[in-house]
């Protein structure tokens, strides 16, 4: 079985795609945990009253696993390092923050109410 080099265009593209799909997956997992109240009742109420993430994000979870298996098949030695790096980035909330930034344009916006005026300092 050929072992792809880390700097090959195919492997770099898969690594970038894996980072993006992992970010979206971790963000979706954190939103689901917050909805269930794992971070407190106040957080759960705030998440449930706000706009929801799109339903197509569930397909990204499966794409993440497909890319993961492809990375293992292409070069299992580098894939082990990638999984360790993913765990560290997940623990440091880098993936969650990146997923939040990626999903920002896709979240529906709440309608502006008359009471949502900016704070006027006098």
- pTM for the predicted model, two decimal places: 0.75
Task: Please check the confidence at residue 117 and state whether its pLDDT lies above 70.
Answer: no
Given a contact cutoff of 8 angstroms between Cβ atoms, the answer to whether 4 and 11 are in contact is yes
**In Å, how far are 10, 30, 45, 53, 109 from 27, measured between CA atoms?**
26, 5, 18, 10, 18
Reported as a single tens digit per residue, the pLDDT across 84-110 is: 999 999 999 999 999 989 988 876 665
């Amino acid at each position: 079985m050929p072992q792809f080099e880390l700097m090959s265009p195919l492997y770099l593209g898969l690594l970038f795609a894996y980072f993006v799909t992992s970010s979206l997956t971790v963000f979706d997992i954190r939103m689901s945990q917050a909805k269930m109240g794992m971070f407190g009742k106040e957080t759960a109420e705030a998440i449930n009253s706000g706009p929801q993430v799109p339903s197509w994000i569930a397909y990204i979870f499966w794409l993440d696993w497909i890319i993961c298996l492809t990375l293992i098949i292409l070069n299992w030695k580098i894939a082990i390092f990638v999984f360790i790096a993913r765990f560290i980035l997940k623990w440091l909330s880098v993936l969650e923050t990146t997923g939040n930034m990626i999903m920002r344009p896709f979240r529906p916006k709440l309608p502006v109410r008359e009471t949502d005026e900016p704070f006027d300092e006098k």
